[in-house]
Chain A
Amino acid sequence: KQEVTQIPAALSVPEGENLVLNCSFTDSAIYNLQWFRQDPGKGLTSLLLIQSSQREQTSGRLNASLDKSSGRSTLYIAASQPGDSATYLCAVKGNDMRFGAGTRLTVKP
């Protein structure tokens, strides 16, 4: 059974810092890995999707990497802003979709 873990559960940083969020998964037989953002009381918004054959994807200040063999992905956020405050979830797609519990990020002005 696929298990997805996100560490840390919560993170608070001052504005302008570069930061890394971590996601690990136990079964490397995946089709893709996706990073989502969730604002309080809202649904999920897809940020980046990495296919199993890819190593990384970039969108603006976000960069996500995937190391399938070691069961790890990282989401790198450059020059963080208060508007980046949200919960970030990773999800892996194998036979079904499995989500991590998320990292709650607070960026302080």
Chain B
Amino acid sequence: NAGVTQTPKFQVLKTGQSMTLQCAQDMNHNSMYWYRQDPGMGLRLIYYSASEGTTDKGEVPNGYNVSRLNKREFSLRLESAAPSQTSVYFCASSEPPLAGVRDTQYFGPGTRLTVL
């Protein structure tokens, strides 16, 4: 099992460029998440998907769009990148809490994005 994989690992963009961050999980989890991590601020939730076909905004959704392509894949798109979006982006997945199932989130290795 690869767990949660993210591509690319690093990316440099110019202001106004667009790009899509890819995330895939092979644990058959229903829920998937996108976070950003900035120095001294911890992780903040951008968007999440409770199940295939559904997406919801998190704490900081402005400037981002997401697509839950299928159960395995959840992508994050920056339509017009801004320097304020320079950050480390993490994808995570989990199984929703059911009786006897722990709601542990599993994280990918992250994508380090710099917007000039």
Binding site for B on A (CB under 8 A): 4, 9, 31-32, 34, 36, 41-46, 49, 89, 91, 93, 96-102
Interface size on B, residues (CB 8 A): 24
Q: Counting chain A CB atoms within 10 Å of each CB, which of B43, B104, B108 scores highest? A: B43
Q: Does B74 contact A (CB under 8 A)?
A: no
Given contacts A43-B4, A93-B103, 14 further A-B contacts (CB under 8 A): A4-B42, A32-B103, A44-B43, A44-B105, A44-B107, A46-B105, A49-B102, A91-B43, A97-B33, A97-B105, A98-B59, A99-B42, A100-B42, A101-B40
Q: Counting chain B CB atoms within 10 Å of each CB, which of A36, A97, A99, A102 scores highest? A: A97
Query: Are B90 and A102 in contact, with the CB atoms below 8 A?
Result: no
Query: Are A96 and B59 in contact, with the CB atoms below 8 A?
Result: yes
Secondary structure at the A interface, as helix, strand, loop or mixed, is strand
B21 to chain A, nearest CB (A): 14
Q: Counting chain A CB atoms within 10 Å of each CB, which of B33, B42, B92, B97 scores highest? A: B42
Residues of B contacting A4 with CB < 8 Å? Answer: 42
Q: Does B64 contact A (CB under 8 A)?
A: no
Chain A, residue nearest B56 (CB): A96
Query: Are A99 and B43 in contact, with the CB atoms below 8 A?
Result: yes
